[in-house]
Amino acid sequence: MTQKRKILVTSALPYANGAIHLGHMVEHIQTDIWVRFQKLRGHECHYCCADDTHGTPIMLAAQKQGMTPEQMIAKTHTEHLADFTGFGIAYDNYYSTHSPENKSHSERIYRALKANNKIISKNINQLFDPEKQMFLPDRFVKGECPKCHAKDQYGDNCEVCGTTYAPTDLINPYSAVSGATPIMKETEHFFFKLSDCADYLKAWTSGETNGRAHLQPEALNKMNEWLKDGELADWDISRDAPYFGFEIPDEPNKYFYVWLDAPVGYMASFQNLCERNGLNFDDFFGKDSQAELYHFIGKDILYFHALFWTAMLEYSGHRAPNGIFAHGFLTVDGQKMSKSRGTFITAKSYLDLGLNPEWLRYYIAAKLNSKIEDIDLNLNDFIARINSDLIGKYINIASRAAGFIHKKFSGSLKDVSQSTLIKQLTEQSESIAQDYESREYNKALREIMGLADLVNEYVDANKPWELAKQDGMESRLHEVCSELINAFKILTAYLFPVLPNLSAQATAFLNVEKLDWTHTVSTLPENHKINPYNHLMQRIEEKQVNDLIEANKQSIQAAAPAQTPTSDYAPVAEQCSFDDFMKVDMRVAKVLNCEAVEGSTKLLKFNLDFGFEQRTIFSGIAASYPNPSELNGTMVIAIANFAPRKMAKFGVSEGMILSAADKDHNLKLLTVHESAKPGDKVG
């Protein structure tokens, strides 16, 4: 056994204005496996997390739901924790950033940074929504990235190139709240002088501070890109009222930006745990701490953790993390999660349909390694791998042997400590441990399933069902089945970090009080009695996965305003006046080109000739026209004076094409005779 370590581990804090989905689960499963492994090895390891609860999005979402922010985040906290608990995520503390501990730590860190000359104030010009009469937070301004020119990027960082910037740097910005073009207004803001921290951050990210790497190679390369040119900008840490968060000390109507107090939430959650369990906070966060601190995060928030958070810790008198482990995104069947396809799968829907959460834990683990790579949930592979690995290989071992042990030998085992088969399994213990330690879960599970294959080959070679029929072979049958039960115990110990619930059931069957890593190198003693075997896990059926996809499609539809139609057609909308109708300018337009929109399953992109000008219009009718180029030359009816609309990342739609549902409820374009001319009025 290695020397006992003291470790604090965190997962990134899920934001409190949305449901937990399977993308969240990748990170929390990855973290939970690592924590469980450390505890299995006998180390002191604490796992803390919390809901990220502050910011304008929370404030606006609560208003829409007719409740206070405090009520909304309390409700969300209960829902989030239920989802995570359902997937076996065993936090030592799951807390909230809207807590007295977080307020205290945030104010203390701010004052320490200020005393260390790392906080300055500036009068800045900030974007202001003239319709909503509010300053716009970074994430409520969108526009073109000033560096790579990607469209529809948020106001704090570009999701395409990773650059961070001020929202005022965006090209052609617009308000994500109202769609209005924001105006400039002057206001006083407070800044963390990140530019002063460049030398320290270069040393820390490279490992020069203590001779060890703190980041993955891909992450270090990204940090070097940001650090090499001395382009670190001072970081705006304040927001103007109205805002849901902590007010900055001595600065009325000024609030901490959510990204300041969110990572401090790691401290707050641990502080709360310390107060309940008698732990010493400074042993883990103090400047001279010898404990280990690790953050598991998504690759999209690497900049905030490796630069902002690390510098905040250093210059407020705390220790920096030992490691920041970033992971990639989750795709489903090779594509980003999609609400329209039903693959934006919520954790709750998975659990509510009765799918075993450990199926997903195993599948995710089998895909994860230490690199920053996206992983894919291939639904057909998901079914095949679980049924093959867990049912066909692992559980099969116990089910083959347990019946004979009870029928022939009263549930008692022979001593098989000298078995060649058992030796082959136990000698892989440190190799598998190293795979878990280095987060190479896919490699660990390949090794474990390779051992399961070895055991099943032993089953087939010795055929206990035939030994049971042969006279004089009882001793050999007893030995073989005892070997299989002990092999199952060793594999169970190897799999425990990934499959804690299944392992607990297997432990009860094995009549072992508790598994730890020593069970990977030991055997059960002579005459140890096992309990009767009950089936441990069901196979996945294709219908269960299909039901999951369908349920998530329905959940999207259910989110729309409820209506009670009186026929097969949509209900009549609110009445409009004749004057309203007369404002609509309907014109004939010729389709010059029609094509599918990359990244969308619904939209078609039309280039239309109105006679007096050409325009681009998007229409959500792709399902009715699988070969969109066939529409070229068609005369359609379009609204010429419809206000332009931003279409997420696809561009601006400069009008609306009219369509109607046929008897099968498929949308079809309203067309006119080819003799009509572009620009002719309709109606």
pLDDT at position 156, please? 82
Give the other-Cβ count within 10 Å of 300's Cβ: 14
Q: What is the mean pLDDT of the chain?
A: 90
Position with higher pLDDT, 70 vs 3: 70
| pLDDT tens readout for residues 87-116 | 999 999 999 999 999 999 999 999 999 999
The per-residue pLDDT for range 565-594, each reduced to its tens digit, is 332 333 333 445 545 565 687 889 999 988
Burial class of residue 73, CB neighbours in 10 A (0-12, 13-18, 19+)? buried
Query: pLDDT > 90: what percent of the chain?
Result: 69
Which residue in the block uniquely carries the two structure tokens 């901490």? 256
- Least Cα distance to 78 among 51, 47, 49, 98 occurs for 51
**CA quadruple 155, 158, 159, 162: dihedral sign:** negative
Cis peptide before 217 (omega within 30 of 0): no
| Distance separating alpha carbons of residues 365 and 376, to the nearest angstrom | 12
pTM: 0.78
Tens digit of each residue's pLDDT (9 = 90 or more) over 373-409: 999 999 999 999 999 999 999 999 999 999 999 999 9
Do the annotations mark residue 197 as ligand-binding? no
Pick the CATH number of 118-210+226-254 from 3.40.640.10, 3.30.70.2190, 2.40.50.140, 2.170.220.10: 2.170.220.10
Q: Which two tokens stand for residue 209?
A: 């501070």
User: Does position 562 have pLDDT exceeding 60, yes or no?
Assistant: no
**Residue range 420-433: average pLDDT?**
98
315 Cβ partners below 8 Å, 6+ apart? 112, 113, 116, 118, 197
Q: Token pair 């425990």 is at which residue?
A: 496
Token match 């990977």: residue? 520
At 683, the amino acid letter reads G
Q: Is the dihedral of CA 464, 470, 474, 476 positive or negative?
A: negative
User: Is 49 annotated in some ligand binding site?
Assistant: no
Q: How many residues are listed for the chain in this entry? A: 683
Nearest to 267 by CA among 439, 99, 402, 391: 99
Q: Is 529 annotated as a binding residue?
A: no
DSSP 641: T
State which fold the 361-520 domain adopts: Isoleucyl-tRNA Synthetase; Domain 1 (1.10.730)
Rounded-to-integer distance, Cα 481 and Cα 397, Å: 9
Mean pLDDT for 246-271 is 96
What would the pLDDT profile of 177-231 be if each residue is shown by its tens digit?
A: 888 999 989 999 999 999 999 999 999 988 766 667 899 999 998 888 888 766 6
Q: How far apart are the first and last CA of the chain?
A: 84
Quote the CA–CA distance of 445 and 428 in Å, as a whole number: 12
Residues 466, 435: Cα–Cα separation, whole Å: 38
Of the listed ranges 3-12, 240-249, 569-578, 630-639, the least confidently predicted one is: 569-578
pLDDT for the residue numbered 485: 98
Among 265-279, 422-436, 624-638, the least confident range? 624-638
pLDDT for 582 equals 57
On whether 45 is known to bind a ligand per the annotation, the reply is no
Determine whether the annotation assigns residue 148 to a binding site. yes
The pLDDT tens digits of the residues spanning 326-380 come to 999 999 988 888 777 778 999 999 999 999 999 999 999 999 999 999 999 999 9
Please state, in angstroms and rounded to a whole number, the distance separating the CA atoms of residues 431 and 423: 14
Give the chain's count of helices (H) and strands (E): 22, 26
3.40.50.150, 3.40.50.620, 3.90.105.10, 3.30.390.30: CATH of 6-106+257-336:
3.40.50.620
| CA nearest neighbour of 34 among 473, 336, 327, 411 | 327
Q: Where are the domains of the chain?
A: 6-106+257-336, 118-210+226-254, 361-520, 578-669
CA 340 from chain centre, in angstroms, equals 19
pLDDT given at position 648: 56
Strand-pairing partners, residue 607, are: 593, 616
Comparison of pLDDT for 2 and 295, the residue scoring more: 295
When mean pLDDT is compared across 144-153, 355-364, 422-431, the lowest value belongs to 144-153
Write out the two tokens for 306.
Answer: 């490796």
pLDDT digits (tens, 9 = 90+) for 591-629: 998 898 887 778 889 888 887 778 889 888 888 888 888
CATH code of domain 578-669 = 2.40.50.140
Give the integer Cα–Cα distance in Å for 315 and 323: 18
